[in-house]
Amino acid sequence: MRKIIHIDMDAFFASVETASNPSLKGMPLIVCGNPEGRTAVASASYEARKFGVKAGMGLREALRLCPNAVLIEGSPRKYVTTSVRILRILSEYSDLLELFSLDEAFLDVTKTEHLFGGARSIALEMKRKIREEFNITCSIGIAPNKLLSKLASGFSKPDGLSEILPEKVLETLEDIPVEELCGIGEKTKEILNKMGIRRCGELGRFDVKDLERVFGKGGRMFHDMGLGVDKSPVHPYYFDSVTKSFGHSMTLDKDSNDMRLLNRHLLQLSEQVGRRLRKDGYSGRTVTLVIRYENFETHSHQKTFGYSLDEGLEIYNSARRILRKVLDRNRMVRLLGVSVSNLSRGEKQQNLFGERRHDSLNKALDEIRDRYGEFSVTRGSILYTGSKQNIVPFGMAKQREIRR
């Protein structure tokens, strides 16, 4: 039986702001993008939530509900720094640490909990350290898998700590509305409700075949979810892989500089690389193109993405762009090679609607690093992919506090 911890920072952006300016403590606080533009609520303090203010809500509506709210234009860099520092604390308790979004992480402590007096002690210690170091609170769930630990962390927010014991799983799930499970979004909920399924208990007892008829492969996953079954592993962020890259190269039948022909070969190579990556359960962020000219002079060029690739077409698109940029068209090409490196391992599972699961950590952090000033948080589901919530863009302007 595994022991998984899910940790979720309470009102994360708002808490970080309050921690850096304690005079805000106890006030209804809204962190948003540029308050003078069209923006939405990114994070609302619990005091603001009492008035009905929620993340994703337009600022105008939020202010109608809570006219006295203090507005703060968010500073993404501050949240990323805090997030990374918090991660460091969490990583003291297990190597199996997965950042699920900027302020949520899973920790598999199955093999390490005994070193710290059990998962509960770990949770309490993490809470204490985060409070002492950052003056912010978090909510923690402990359970035999990710699905249930994420559910449990929401049981008594803010500053909560809840555990779902293996023998209590079904009892706990029985009356919980299906949409509280991570991965059951609005659309799925509606379809399930129409089928007469409102609670997890009902979902777990529903005929799998009927669910499969409606949801295809997803049917079984939903059924499992209703029973609290989730085998997905905690994907560690830093995957120290022995395999460093996957690549293919080919010597052309005849040296050529015909772009159409070269692209055709690139597509074929990219498809091969993608297939091998997927077969071995890898994806990678760096695409490298190797060009050898007729005189054996060999060049390699690469591009690194903020997310992982494992599909031929994506790899091809990137390789083709590199080729277009770097190819010396006055020379004949003898060999082409495509490889993908910067690998991480983990199932890239399809969601119901065929969307891809992007590594939320990489995405969140890289997007901010690459284009500071724009910030988006993608919330994934554990098993499939997440749908994008409202994106709150932050301007480049310095953090301002607007008192109204």
- Judged by the rule CB under 5 A, the positions of this chain that interact with Ca ion are 8-9, 12, 103
Nearest one of 73, 72, 90 to 138, comparing CA atoms = 90
**101: nearest Cα among 182, 4, 173, 17:** 182
109 is in the binding site of which of ligand DCP, Ca ion, none (Cβ under 5 to 8 A by kind)?
none
* Strand 70-73 relative to strand 29-32, pairing: parallel
Dump strand ranges (E) for 157-281: 161-163, 245-256
Contact indicator for 39, 33 with CB cutoff of 8 Å: yes
**Among Ca ion, ligand DCP, none, residue 42 binds (CB under 5-8 Å by kind):** ligand DCP
Query: Which listed option, Ca ion, ligand DCP, none, makes contact with residue 157 (CB within 5 to 8 Å by class)?
Result: ligand DCP
**What does 43 bind: Ca ion, ligand DCP, none (CB cut-off 5 to 8 Å by kind)?**
ligand DCP
DSSP string over 313-379:
HHHHHHHHHHHHHH--TTS-EEEEEEEEEEEEE------TT-PPPP-HHHHHHHHHHHTTT----BP
CA gap 393, 83 in Å, rounded: 19
If one asks whether residue 136 binds ligand DCP (CB under 6 A), the answer comes out as no
- Our answer to whether residue 98 is catalytic in this structure is no
Distance between CA atoms of residues 213 and 320, nearest Å = 40
* 297 to 322, 324, 328, 344: CA distances (angstroms): 17, 18, 12, 31
Nearest distance in Å: CB 46, ligand DCP? 7
Question: Where are any strands of DSSP class E within 80-194?
Answer: 97-101, 104-108, 138-143, 161-163
Tell whether residue 157 is a contact of ligand DCP (CB under 6 A).
Answer: yes
Q: Is 17 in the site for ligand DCP (CB under 6 A)?
A: no
Question: Catalytic residue among 17, 47, 73, 104, which?
Answer: 104
CB of 383 to ligand DCP, least distance (A): 19
55 binds, among ligand DCP, Ca ion, none (CB under 5 to 8 A by kind): ligand DCP
Q: Does 30 bind ligand DCP (CB under 6 A)?
A: no
Nearer to Ca ion (CB atom), residue 341 or residue 376: 376
392 binds, among Ca ion, ligand DCP, none (CB under 5 to 8 A by kind): ligand DCP
Whether residue 199 contacts residue 254, with contact meaning beta carbons closer than 8 Å, is answered with: no
Site string for ligand DCP, 57-96 (x = CB under 6 A): ----------------------------------------
Q: Is 151 in the site for ligand DCP (CB under 6 A)?
A: no
Binding segment for ligand DCP (CB under 6 A), chosen from 2-10, 21-29, 128-136, 242-250, is 2-10
Number of residues lying near ligand DCP (CB under 6 A): 18
Q: Which of 102, 75, 183 is nearest to 363 (CA)?
A: 102
Q: Is 331 in the site for ligand DCP (CB under 6 A)?
A: no
Cite the active site residues.
104
Contacts with ligand DCP by CB under 6 A lie at 8-13, 42-43, 55-56, 102-103, 157-158, 377, 389-390, 392
